[in-house]
Each structure stands twice: as C-alpha cells, then as structure tokens.
Structure 1
C-alpha cells in the first residue's frame, strides 16, 4: 500500500464548487479528524466521508487569495468536553454545502504512514493541539463562509503569548523565534547521515540551544502549507548551538516557527521522578548550584542566614595567652 501522505479536494467537492454560480455562497459546515486511511489515491479522491471519523475539529476563518481560499483545520484535546481516550490522527476533512445542496466532503487530507497521537485531555495541563493546512481553488465570484465558531483556534501571536505564560511557570525554559531558510536544506546522506524516510535535513543555529534541551516547535500558520507539502518530520533534534530538522522533500519556502526550549527535568518533576537533568556548578559566568558550607543556616522555607563567626585573636591576645601559659608552667 502506498504512503498516502498528502491532501486533495474530493471528486464531490470539485463538482460542488464547479456548479456554483456567481454570487452564491459556499458554507463550510464542519471539520473532522479521524484515524483511518484510504487504500489508494483514487479512493482518497472518491471519499464522501472520513474512513474512520473520530472527533469534530475547528478551523481558522477562510482567507481568500485570488481564486483560492486557505485555512487551517485544528484539533485540540480540550474540545467537545475534553478527549477521554487518546487516538492517532491519520486523516482530516472539511465539509461544506450551498443553499441548494446537501452537506458534502469537499477536502480530504491523510497523514499516511505517519499518524499523530493525541493524548487525553487533563484539566490544568495544556491541551494537545494539531494543525493541518487546507487550500481550495474556487471561482473569484464565489463567497465562502464558515457555519461554526472557530473558538479553538489561536493565532501565531496568541501561541507565542501562551508559550510565554508557560515559561513563567516552568523551570529552565526559554522561547526562540526562528526561521528555517529554504536554502538551508541538504541531503542528509551527503552529510554522513543514515538513510531514513526523511532524506533532507537543515540546521538552525542559536547560541541558547543546548543538547540537553527538549525542543517544542510550533510552525507558524503561514508556513504550515509549505511544511505539510515538504513532509516535515515531527521530530526535532537539539544540539549545542543548533536545532536539526528533517523533511521528505525539499521545502519550497522558508519555515517560520516558535520554539520552546525546556530542560529535560520537565520544570517541576517530583523528587525521584527519574529526571536525567543535573544542575551544573555555579561559576562567575554560569548560573548553577552551590553547596551550603559551615556557618550558613538555611530554614525549611529556603531563607539563608549567616551564623556568628568567631573573630580571630589579635597578635596581642595571642602573646597574652602564650605568656600566661608559660607563667603557669613556671609556678
């Protein structure tokens, strides 16, 4: 079975859009995500519903560019009352209708052999979020609107603000705004890499990155379509001074992203939780840990105080002590 990694308007969707007259409105009724996969490209285009629908998603408001509309389908684990059991997203679809037609699956996307697992929602924990690009060619005279409130979608600016608030409550974390240039990619095997399903790699340099970091990368919405078409690998490797990315195909443009660099300690793991993070010793240029020495008192709530330190005897006091000792021996 081929790796059906990609997206396409459905046959029924093309027919619906082609039948629209000038001034008519195409209403997007819902977005869905599922766990299935069609058998072939022909079967993908012929679908009238997801192969194995699981949950309703949401989307951005459609943006028109000449004779096409673009939007992003988003699923969050806190939608629909909160996801109770985790599942692997392997497909997504967009449904629409007109005043004269029934609801139709007009667009279908599949992640092929690379499904994305979504964890159950836990109150008080940031939800699992998955974004997928949609681009549909339509007549410039056709109006497009959505029939639901896109309340689960956040913009790139809002995502950056959310990450900033997360950093305030997480130890050893930092935020970077990066761009993976289109000309930074190269064949991985040309650099001595092992052969993988993602033959292209690129590195982005930044002094703040360390190999001990756990990087969380959020691709900006305007770069999602480029990332999806290139088959960007969901895994990112942190090295001292750089982040390494992989892709199935050479990306056609730059990829802008926000990166959350978090220490592998997890920023709040309980003692004995198995963390591999070790606090470095403090130096004049590096923040780190120090050992509490003698005459330093630390209370249970972390307050430090210096205990009374005996002052050394003066030369005169030492002479008096010594002379007194010899005088006692003489007696």
Structure 2
C-alpha cells in the first residue's frame, strides 16, 4: 500500500460549512496510531484511528494562496508513557463551525512505510517524526497528493528506471554536458 492522505467525508462537510458561514478552519488536534487499513479501503471513509497510540502536534501551519501547509509532528519526549510502537497512521481533527464539536478532517496512512517509534528514555535524545501536508483548495476535480521526499516504493523506482530507459532509447532525454560548476 502507498503512503497517502485524504480529507474525510466529515472533513469535506466541515470545509463546506466554513466556506458557507465565512468562518476560519480551526484545527483542534492530531494523533498518531499503529493500525492498518485494508488495501481497497477509501481513506475518506476512515473516521477514527484504527489503533490509537498517542497525541501529536500540528506545526508549521501557514497558507499561501489556495494552499494550506501544515506538519503533523510526533515527539516521543512529549509522550513518555506511550512506549514503543509502529507509527503507521495519523489523523487531524477540526472544530465544526456549525456545532462547535470536534470532527475528523483528514486521515493518513504510511502504507508500507511504517516507522518504528522507540519509547522515550532520558538517556537518549528525543526522537521526532514530521509529516508535512499540503491541502489545495480548488474548483477542479483533480486531486493532488504530495508525499515527503524520500518515500518511494521498489515498484516506483523500477517504473522510473523503465521510463528513463525508454526516454534515452527514443532520444527524448537531454543530458547536460557539464555541471553547473564547470
């Protein structure tokens, strides 16, 4: 399974209510978990972590134009009682502008890229996991999912290799003769 995240069906209703009422999006919290969802399960229909592990934080929130940038961050130092676990999912919640109640906004899975999280010990430096997200507000029916750099499956690398070989064979790939420094 691939890494991915999606605004949930509750999150879409929440965003529509924010736009309709002219109220800002109020993110309330984030949490991480160690659960797995089925290969064919729609991320938009997941409304709770499969296996809750600990609270996380929302960091580096900003917006530029039609994009909302935020980072879900987990630090084992902030949650020493959580112990060790395999981080494989996270969720972000927001306040519903109509009811004032907290509801799920988005769900993310790390898919095959689960991360082993050690329990906190004062004898070792804190460990921090950061997952940057970009939400794009658009009138088009196009979905864009951006993953952190460095997350690639073996199949992705093989597909890229085949694409490069085809481009070279068709003489569609131009390689520079010199690097930028000469």
Fold-level similarity (TM above 0.5): yes
CA–CA separation in structure 2 for the residues paired with 1:104 and 1:40: 24
User: Does the CA-based 8 Å contact 1:93-1:107 persist in structure 2?
Assistant: yes
What does residue 38 of structure 2 align with? Answer: 39
Deviation at 1:46, TM superposition (A): 0.3
- Work out whether residues 17 and 138 of structure 1, in 8 Å CA contact, stay in contact via their aligned partners in 2: no
- The separation in 2 between residues aligned to 1:65 and 1:133, in whole angstroms, is 15
* 1:36–1:52 Cα contact (<8 Å) kept: yes
Q: Identify which of 97, 100, 104 aligns with 1:99.
A: 97
How do residues 123-142 of structure 1 correspond to structure 2 at under 5 angstroms? 123-138=122-137
Give a deviation string over 1:3-41, Cα, whole Å, max 9, x none.
Answer: 142111112111210222253021111000000121145
Aligned residues: 150
Q: What SS class does the counterpart of residue 57 from structure 2 fall into?
A: strand
TM-score normalised to structure 2 length? 0.71
Instruction: Give the distance between the partners of 1:83 and 1:71, measured in 2 at CA.
Output: 26
Asked which structure has the greater RCO (Cα within 8 Å, sep 6+), the reply is: 2
Offset at residue 115 of structure 1 (A): 0.7
Q: Which residue of 2 aligns with 1:87?
A: 85
Structure 1 residues 129 and 28, CA, compared in 2 at 3 Å: closer, same or farther? same
**1:161-194 superposed Cα distances (whole Å, 9 cap, x missing partner):** xxxxxxxxxxxxxxxxxxxxxxxxxxxxxxxxxx
Q: What whole-Å deviation, never above 9, does each CA across 1:264-289 have from its counterpart, x for those lacking one?
A: xxxxxxxxxxxxxxxxxxxxxxxxxx
Q: Which has the larger radius of gyration?
A: 1
| Residue 27 in structure 1 maps to residue 26 in structure 2 | yes
User: 1:186-224 CA deviation, whole Å, 9 max, x = no partner?
Assistant: xxxxxxxxxxxxxxxxxxxxxxxxxxxxxxxxxxxxxxx
Distance 1:247 1:62, change over 3 A: farther
Aligned in 2, Cα 1:84/1:226: closer, same or farther, shift over 3 Å? closer
8 Å CA contact 1:231, 1:248 repeated in 2: no
- Per the TM alignment, residue 107 of structure 1 is displaced from its structure 2 partner at its CA by 1.1
Q: Give the Å deviation of 1:60.
A: 1.1
Confirm or deny that 1:231 pairs with 2:154: no
Q: What TM-score does the superposition give when structure 1 sets the normalisation length?
A: 0.41
The answer on whether the counterparts of 1:231 and 1:247 sit within 8 Å (CA) in structure 2 is no
User: Over the residues paired in the alignment, what is the CA RMSD in angstroms?
Assistant: 2.5
Q: Is the 8 A contact 1:230 1:248 kept in 2?
A: no
1:49-73: CA deviation from partner (whole Å, max 9, x where unpaired): 1111110000214210212211110
Give the distance between the partners of 2:31 and 2:85, measured in 1 at CA. Answer: 14
Secondary structure in structure 2 of the residue aligned to 1:78: helix
